[in-house]
Amino acid sequence: MSVTYYLAVDIGASSGRHILGHVEDGRVILEEVYRFENNPEEKNGHLCWDLSRLFSHVLEGMRACRTAGKLPVSMGIDTWGVDFVLLDREGKLLGDAVAYRDGRTSGMDVISEKCVPFEELYERTGIQKQVFNTLYQLTALQKEQPDLLERAHRLLMVPDYLHYCLTGKKENEYTEATTSALVNAKEKTWDWELIDRFGFPRRLFDELRMPGYLLGGLTPQVQEAVGFDCTVRLPATHDTGSAFLAVPAKDEGGVYLSSGTWSLLGSENREPITTEASRKANFSNEGGYEYRFRYLKNIMGLWMIQSIRRELNKEYSFAQLESLAREADQFKSRVDVNDESFLAPKSMMEAVRAFCRKTEQPVPETVGEVVQCIYGSLADCYAASIQELEALTHRSYTAVNIVGGGSKDSYLNELTAKASGLPVFAGPTEGTALGNLMVQMIAAGEFPSLEAARKAERNSFPIQEYHVE
């Protein structure tokens, strides 16, 4: 019996993976065929992404599909948000792909607010203030390299650019574009008045395409490189947009938590919430599949644990770090995980210790105490964010539904259940890739609707449960 395969290329800020999916007896079957690391590097005084290396990994993973004899009929790429590239009239790259953790955006919010007060910006876009938003990156570019903007003909977000490399088509996908803080939440398109007031050239921005949009086939060059052709279809290219699609909602009254390098906690709404209370709570209205809004808070997430592991030269596995944290469970100092000092410190361990000193708490000395401090702080932040979410949405939530790599972190899940007082349902792990695949499968007629795809997903993957003791 022939099998119809679909390929999700899911690239996060620390790693990427190629996941093949197919439907068998109404169940979704996943298979990882390729995995690679992804980290920004210093270049020309900035922290940058090596997009040529990233694209070479995209191609290598596609070749792995061919080697396995499992050729996809369609594929799509999702990545993190906010970062972009500029192209000239010939479609060639201008400048570097500067990463959101680079320090160039420091103070750019103050400069941009001279053009548009943040209160008005939030009311129009519904996007929370984060110093690395595309808006502030463009403001930094205006200040540092205005000639690049003058020469640029198009702006493509990172997944848009990778899709362009595959197909030769320059398209802006909606869910990723909303992370720029330049899309009008109510109109669901670029806010041209804002773009004009900030002084960005209109030619950089083109019509927004929705998840499911058909880009077409691979370029002849890519076909030759990978040994086959397939359809390229836009998923929700922002990884959180794909992850929220794949929340199986074991409890329909639960909040969604996409747990990985970042933790994105929130709910799915049909209309944006751009009230003053929402702005003050720093919740975001990111665009989603079928114009469903991901109403969420960005929380620093497992980036802090990942950073400590790198700092220790990967001497410890993640499981060993978790075990050390469990042994230090009596250590009760806590940090504000959303503090900017944790965005890109030279030493994450020292940043945690410095925060504890500054707030006059016991300073963690051992690795276990540092990691315990982070785990406990994340769980407490999740619990506080759920309380804020309930007040803003006027709903009472009854569970926490977790997808993504963090769903495997049993200790953090236990602490989250304890801190929130809610049961935690964890899984599937590859939530982002699964959401990417679901869009492709719906477009191909494997499922008639998102609801049907989610139902199939609930029957396809084990969900680990953590209950309040």
Sequence-separated (6 or more) residues with CB below 8 Å from residue 299 = 262, 263, 264, 265, 337, 338, 378, 381, 382, 385
| Tokens linked to 60 | 């290598």
Cα–Cα dist 230/219, whole Å: 10
Q: 């919010």: which residue's tokens?
A: 109
Question: Residue 105 is which amino acid?
Answer: T
Distance CA 284, CA 125 (A): 9
Closest CA to 53 of 43, 39, 42: 39
* Chain mean position to CA 432: 9
- Bridge partner list, 195: none
CA angle 121, 122, 126 (to 5 degrees): 125
**Residue 337, Cβ neighbours under 10 Å: how many?**
22
d(CA 49, CA 242): 22
Choosing from 96, 239, 380, 409, the catalytic residue is 239
Helix (H) or strand (E) holding 199: none
Q: Is 160 an annotated catalytic residue?
A: no
- The Cα–Cα gap between 93 and 88 comes to 7
Beta strands in 176-333 (DSSP E): 183-184, 189-190, 208-209, 214-217, 231-233, 255-259, 263-269, 284-287, 293-299
Q: Which two tokens stand for residue 316?
A: 């410890």
Report the alpha-carbon distance of residue 456 to residue 27 in Å, rounded. 6
Residues annotated as catalytic are 239
